[in-house]
Amino acid sequence: MDSTKSHTPTPNEQAASQGDGIGAAAISGRRGVKKGRKEQITHTLHTHLIDKIDSRARELDISRAAWINLAISAKLKADDAAS
């Protein structure tokens, strides 16, 4: 990062820097790890679902995570269109 540019802290960064012992995740109600504009979460699935997801992802030559993101986005879009 260019040291001449100023950085405006995000609300999560501001909360985390307050030094009150409560991290940004606790304040925002989120527990995932921030990675840029994304947030890493943990979700447990049955192995038969993982096998199906992996098979479909291979068919599209994409990662499991990319397939899951596409599936979630498609479902949300369909739900929005239905309402």
36 and 1, same structural domain?
yes
What is the total count of domains within the chain? 2
Does position 53 have pLDDT exceeding 80, yes or no? yes
Same structural domain for residues 32 and 2? yes
Using only C-alpha atoms, the chain has a radius of gyration, in whole angstroms, of 18
SS3 50: helix
- What is the pTM assigned to this prediction? 0.60
The tens digit of pLDDT for each residue in 12-23 reads 555 555 544 444
Same domain, 3 and 31: yes
User: Do 34 and 50 have their domain in common?
Assistant: no
Domain that includes residue 10, residue range? 1-41
Residue 72 and residue 54 in one domain: yes
Residues 7 and 33 in one domain: yes
